[in-house]
Amino acid sequence: MDFIDTFAKRNFAFNQIPDLKGKVAIITGSNTGIGKVCALEMAKQGATVILACRNKEKTLKVVDEIKAHTGNQNVEFIQLNLLKLASVKEFADQFLARHSELHILMNNAGVMMCPFGLSEDGIETQFATNHVAHFYLTMLLLPVLEKSAPSRIINVSSIGHRMPFKALNLESISDPAKYNKFIHYAKSKTCNILFTRELSKRLEQKGVNNVYVNANHPGGVKTDLYRHTSSILNFFVNKFLITPEDGALTQLYLATSPDVEQKPIKGEYYVPFANAAKPQGVAASEDGPLKLWEFTENLLKEKVPGYQGAPI
C-alpha cells in the first residue's frame, strides 16, 4: 500500500461530476464504502442508479437514504450474490427486464485477504468475487452497453496487484494447499487490470470506439474491506487511510468525467486522485490478458450450464 494517497495530486472533485440525467448506472457492492459514495454522488446528478448487492435489508435502507438525501427517486436495488454465478445471471435478467439502456457499469464490489473458502460454484472466494463474477456480469451486459454507447465500464482494482508474485497459476487458483490470502488478493486485483486491457483491446478490434473500459486503484480507504486483517495491522494502517469520499473520486472520474471521451481514455489504470499510472508485474505482461480471458471463458463454460461464451 502507498501511504501517500492523502497527498496525491487532485485532478477531480464531486462538483465536476456532470449532469447525469438520462444515464443508467449499475454499481456492485454499493451499500457501503466507496460504492455507496459513488451511488450517492451519481444520484445527486440525476442518474438512475442500481445498487447491485447481496444483502437486501441493508441495501434497501441505503436506497431509501439516497432517495431522501438527493430527491432522486430513480434509485433501485437488484440482488446480486457474486459468490453464485446463477445469481449473476438472475441479476442481469432482472436488470434487462426493467431497463433497455446501461451507460455505466462499475464493478466495485470486492473481498480482501479473507480466509480460504470456495464460492457456490467451487471457485476460490477472492478470485470468484473480484474477477470471475464481474467478468461474467460484464459479458451478460456488454450488448446493452454497446447499444447505449457512449458507455463506460470501470473495474475497481488495487495497488495490491503490485505484491510480488511470478505468475497467476490459474490452474491451481482454487487449491487450498496453494492458498495465500495476500497473494491471492493480489492475483485477483491483477486480474481486474488484465481483464480491462483485454476487453478494451477486443472492443477496439470490433470497431467499437465508444465503450470506455478502465481500471483504478481507489487508494487505501477506511472501509470494512480490512475486516480480515489483524487488529495490530489495522491500528497502524488506519493512521494513513483516506475517507470513502476520497476513495470514490478516481472511479467517479472514470465513470463520469467528459475527459474520458475527449482524450480518450481506454484500457488504462488510474490511481488517486484521477491520475494515470502504469500497472506493474504480471498486470503489465503482454500475454497475461489473453491467457486470463481464455481461462475465465473456459471456467464459465464449465460452471454455467448453457454459457455460449463472450459476445466479443
Report the domain count for the chain: 1
- 277 pLDDT above the threshold of 50: yes
First vs last Cα of the chain: how many Å apart?
35
Of the listed ranges 70-79, 168-177, 212-221, 233-242, the least confidently predicted one is 233-242
The whole-number pLDDT of residue 221 equals 81
d(CA 60, CA 107): 20
**Which residue of the set 136, 185, 253, 270 is catalytic?**
185
Per-residue pLDDT, averaged over 96-114, amounts to 97
CATH of the domain at 38: 3.40.50.720
For residue 36, being part of any structural domain is answered with yes
Per-residue pLDDT, averaged over 107-135, amounts to 97
- Structural domain for 118, as ranges: 21-303
Per-residue pLDDT, averaged over 145-174, amounts to 97
Instruction: Give 275's strand partners.
Output: 271
- pLDDT tens-digit map of 32-70: 999 999 999 999 999 999 999 999 999 999 999 999 999
Instruction: Give residue 94's pLDDT band: very low, low, confident or very high (50, 70, 90).
Output: very high
- pLDDT tens-digit map of 206-231: 999 999 999 999 998 865 555 555 55
For residue 248, being part of any structural domain is answered with yes
Cell 464490489 sits on residue: 109
d(CA 198, CA 213): 10
For residue 258, being part of any structural domain is answered with yes
For residue 180, being part of any structural domain is answered with yes
For residue 11, being part of any structural domain is answered with no
Q: Which of 304, 312, 306 is nearest to 86 (CA)?
A: 304
For residue 312, being part of any structural domain is answered with no
Q: Which of 138, 130, 249 is nearest to 190 (CA)?
A: 130
For residue 109, being part of any structural domain is answered with yes
Active site annotation includes 253: no
State the DSSP H helix or E strand holding residue 292, giving kind and residue range, or none if neither: helix 288-303
d(CA 66, CA 14): 16
Give me 84's grid cell: 453464485
Helices assigned H by DSSP within 45-112: 56-70, 85-98
For residue 7, being part of any structural domain is answered with no
Q: In a 10 Å sphere around its CB, with 0-12 CB exposed, 13-18 middle and 19+ buried, how is residue 90 labelled?
A: middle
Using DSSP's 3-state secondary structure scheme, residue 269 falls into: strand
